Amino acid sequence: MAVAALLRRRVLSSPHAVSSCRNEIYPVREHDFGLSIGASCIFWRGYHNSGKFDLTDMTHPHMWYPKAREKKRNVYLHVGPTNSGKTYNALKRLEASSSGVYCGPLRLLAREVAQRLNKINVPCNLITGQERDEIEGAKHTSVTVEMADVTTEYQCAVIDEIQMVGCKSRGFSFTRALLGLCSDELHVCGDPAAVPLIQRILEATGDLVTVRYYERLSPLVPLKSPLGSFSNIKAGDCLVTFSRRGIYTLKKRIEMEGKHLCSVVYGSLPPETRTKQATMFNDDTSDLNVLVASDAIGMGLNLNISRIIFSTMMKYDGFNFRELTVSEIKQIAGRAGRYGSKFPVGEVTCLDAEDLPLLHSSLKSPSPIIERAGLFPTFDLLALYSRLHGTDFFHPILERFLEKAKLSPDYFIAECEDMLKVAAIVDDLPLGLYDKYLFCISPVDMRDDISVQGLFAENYARKGIVRLKEIFTPGTLQVPKTHNQLKELESVHKVDRRISGKVRMAATRTKKVFAWSTKAASKI
């Protein structure tokens, strides 16, 4: 069923909607709270002397994580430009710890770290929204930041790309990890632009904060001339654009010159396909010696790039087409000339001469200081709010809570439009409040009907799992020959991996989709 039809079914004026009231102040009694939220409320009661508190008061989010507050954490901020060794040094501490967790912004990064630790005989689990690979006896785990466990104690924790704390849609997950990870040492890596905000946020936690600044290890040279003709492409080049269609269009143009074959890397490719494409580009014996990629490469992927070439300086951010920010330009450009690779000096330019002024000015400018961090209410808060309003319908609870939420100047509420759409859909299914909450905070493209149908199929509500054969008719999938067919295949794979939750259960069907996706990446 299409998203619009499902949304129309949701009647917000139903008797289940939260009734209007002038405030959200409630008396607190110990038996009002379930076991999962009792500990957090002890903290809240400490600063509400009247025995009452405002459920929508989110001005003290560090108090949501009592286990972390029991520790006086040693927090190390590793900050500097790309290719400066900041994440490398943080990971060395993780390797040497008796237990730990790495929290990254991308599945591919989480996988790289897990592989790195397992390779040096430090058993490490891999847990993302689409994958779960658990190693017997492992005391280390590599996760995408949304999957960070704030209930387990670690000796060491690493949060990568902390500047994403200011991201409208995902920033709240980085805030949650920053405030909630229960570790003796917390190593936070990213852009210096995040330092003042992180220091302010952590003043309330009592943690000991040390800032370590890094300089770039290899030169990055902005070129004065654009690429010009596609015949000027050379081995080690990476062309950057911001859509699937743009990536495959550039790939086709480069290969038509007859000199090079291209690997492709972008966000919606299945993780195995991205890994294989990146590996082939890095392999000196491979024929794929040019890379065409999205800004997915800007998040620390280890790629042997000689020259970054921006095909455009415009990007669609889900709302509007806009110019790339200073931070985005520096993040992407900095992937050229990786330290220790066969390209010790990185170069960066544009396809068109008219884009060079923005590129050059951005590389000379510091990234704008990040003023606020994303925030989203925990399940415990929303569960209590739901209980006191007497409803398990999640959409009106979430909408009302967000409308009334009170924040300190250091925080903003995460972009919730898609979450509210998801909430409207899941309220029509026989799911518990916790499942509804998890669906709402899980990344999903609401414009992708295949994802929505798979994610919210009633089969999940009945069985707790949606199988691939329930999303499409077996035997109908074929190697894609068009962009739309490829998008559909990627959607099927994404739903299969997200809903199954267990890689081994999906191994056979995923292997086939992965093979088709890899083949498509070289054919389209």
Mean pLDDT over all residues of the chain?
82
**Average pLDDT in the 413-422 region?**
88
Please tell me which residue, 421 or 22, carries the higher pLDDT value: 421
Each residue's pLDDT tens digit, 53-95? 678 999 999 999 999 999 999 999 999 999 999 999 999 999 9
| Distance between first and last Cα of the chain | 30
Please tell me which residue, 355 or 460, carries the higher pLDDT value: 355
Of the candidates 255, 249, 311, 250, the residue with the CA atom closest to the CA atom of residue 287: 255
- Long-range contact set of residues 47-52: C-beta below 8 Å, sequence gap at least 24: 51/27, 52/25, 52/26, 52/27, 52/28
Please give the CATH topology (third level) of the domain spanning 220-364.
Answer: Rossmann fold (3.40.50)
Contact between residue 220 and residue 334 where contact means Cβ atoms under 8 Å apart:
yes
Q: Give the tokens for residue 249.
A: 């269009």
Q: What is the pTM of this model?
A: 0.82
pLDDT computed for residue 524 by the predictor:
58
Is residue 484 scored above 90 in pLDDT?
Answer: no
Residue 364 binned pLDDT confidence (cut-offs 50, 70, 90)? very high
Please tell me which residue, 203 or 275, carries the higher pLDDT value: 203
Residue 316 phi, psi dihedral angles, 5° rounding = -90, 120
Is residue 206 scored above 70 in pLDDT?
Answer: yes
Residue 326 binned pLDDT confidence (cut-offs 50, 70, 90)? very high
How far is 505 from 126, CA to CA, in rounded Å? 16
Contact between residue 464 and residue 450 where contact means Cβ atoms under 8 Å apart:
no
How far is 390 from 397, CA to CA, in rounded Å? 10
Contacts with 53 (C-beta within 8 Å, 6 or more apart), sequence order: 25, 26, 28, 44, 45
How far is 41 from 150, CA to CA, in rounded Å? 17
- ∠ CA 112-116-117 to the nearest 5 degrees? 120
How far is 387 from 206, CA to CA, in rounded Å? 33
Is residue 207 scored above 70 in pLDDT?
Answer: yes
Torsion of Cα atoms, 441 then 443 then 448 then 452, to 10°: -40
- Tokens 């960070």 sit at which residue? 148
Contact between residue 271 and residue 309 where contact means Cβ atoms under 8 Å apart:
no
Residue 458 binned pLDDT confidence (cut-offs 50, 70, 90)? low
How far is 368 from 179, CA to CA, in rounded Å? 23
Please tell me which residue, 290 or 317, carries the higher pLDDT value: 290
Residue 317 binned pLDDT confidence (cut-offs 50, 70, 90)? confident
How far is 523 from 55, CA to CA, in rounded Å? 55
Contact between residue 264 and residue 280 where contact means Cβ atoms under 8 Å apart:
no
Distance of CA 108 to CAs 144, 149, 484, Å?
Answer: 9, 19, 24
Of the candidates 441, 375, 63, the residue with the CA atom closest to the CA atom of residue 197: 375
Contacts with 321 (C-beta within 8 Å, 6 or more apart), sequence order: 314, 315
Angle (deg, nearest 10), helices 433-441 and 394-404: 60
pLDDT computed for residue 431 by the predictor:
84
Span of 4-18, 406-420, 423-437 with lowest mean pLDDT: 4-18
Contacts with 317 (C-beta within 8 Å, 6 or more apart), sequence order: none
**Average pLDDT in the 245-267 region?**
92
Residue 480 binned pLDDT confidence (cut-offs 50, 70, 90)? low
How far is 339 from 364, CA to CA, in rounded Å? 21
Fold match, 57-213 / 220-364: yes
**Average pLDDT in the 357-362 region?**
97
Each residue's pLDDT tens digit, 156-185? 999 999 999 999 989 999 999 999 999 999
pLDDT computed for residue 108 by the predictor:
82
How many residues can be counted in the chain? 524
Domain 57-213 superfamily per CATH: P-loop containing nucleotide triphosphate hydrolases (3.40.50.300)
Q: Give the tokens for residue 328.
A: 């985005």
Please, what's the b/e burial string for 441-470 (b: 16 or more CB within 10 A of its CB; e: otherwise)?
beebebebebbbbbbbbeebbeeeebbbeb
- ∠ CA 272-275-280 to the nearest 5 degrees? 125
The domain limits of the chain are 57-213, 220-364, 416-522
How far is 244 from 486, CA to CA, in rounded Å? 9
pLDDT computed for residue 468 by the predictor:
54
For residue 289, count other CB atoms closer than 10 A to its CB: 22
Greatest mean pLDDT among 94-108, 256-270, 286-300:
94-108
**Average pLDDT in the 18-26 region?**
49
Is residue 437 scored above 70 in pLDDT?
Answer: yes
